Amino acid sequence: MTKEELMKEAIRLSEENLDNGGGPFGAVIARDGEIVATGVNRVTASHDPTAHAEVSAIRAACQKLNTFNLSGCEIYTSCEPCPMCLAAIYWAHLDKVYFGNGKTDAKDIGFDDSFIYDELTLPREKRKLPAEMLLDKEAIRAFKMWQKKQDKIEY
């Protein structure tokens, strides 16, 4: 399939999802022009705030390919990824992102991710979400154990 055909499928999924109780978002993960897996937004339908189309597609693609590394694959998403999905795309090592709608289009219909993008640029103490370090001397034990572990799978 061409990249336009793959994006058309992501867009078709975003439209179809409205009839299935989800938000207007769809994503396709492809390798060498073949669809590996798809995902749609299931936040409200699944009571899962992380069930964005891209994250759902990444989970499905990893299950299908039996891997945690999707290098060699590309993602086609009906909307520019939010910070969570963008981070997930980095973690999954996808090669490239194609997006249909831009994040300002999403903001115009009430999906405003820009405040999270803005928060990420602020120092921790200036963010709206309070966060404080707690029991760091105990938490570090697992890191030291990880460093010493001989049979670990690096990722």
Asked if 106 touches Zn ion (CB under 5 A), the answer is no
Q: Which is closer to Zn ion, CB of 129 or CB of 135?
A: 129
Site for Zn ion in 55-94 (CB under 5 A): 82, 84-85
Closer to Zn ion by Cβ: residue 5 or 108? 108
Of 36 and 51, which CB lies nearer to Zn ion in the complex structure? 51
Amino acid at residue number 20: N
- Asked whether the beta carbons of 28 and 11 are under 8 A apart, the reply is no
| Choice from 52, 57, 73, 79 touching Zn ion (CB under 5 A) | 52
| Residue 6: both structure tokens together | 């793959």
Taking CB under 5 A as the binding criterion, the range among 2-10, 35-43, 46-54, 104-112 that sits at the site for Zn ion is 46-54
C-beta of 61: minimal distance to Zn ion in Å?
A: 15
Q: Binding of Zn ion at residue 42 (CB under 5 A)?
A: no
Distances (CA, A) of 56 to 10, 39, 63, 109, 151: 13, 5, 11, 22, 30
Residue among 93, 125, 94 nearest 28 (CA): 94
Q: How many C-beta atoms lie closer than 10 Å to residue 129's C-beta?
A: 7
* Residues at the interface with Zn ion (CB under 5 A): 52, 82, 84-85
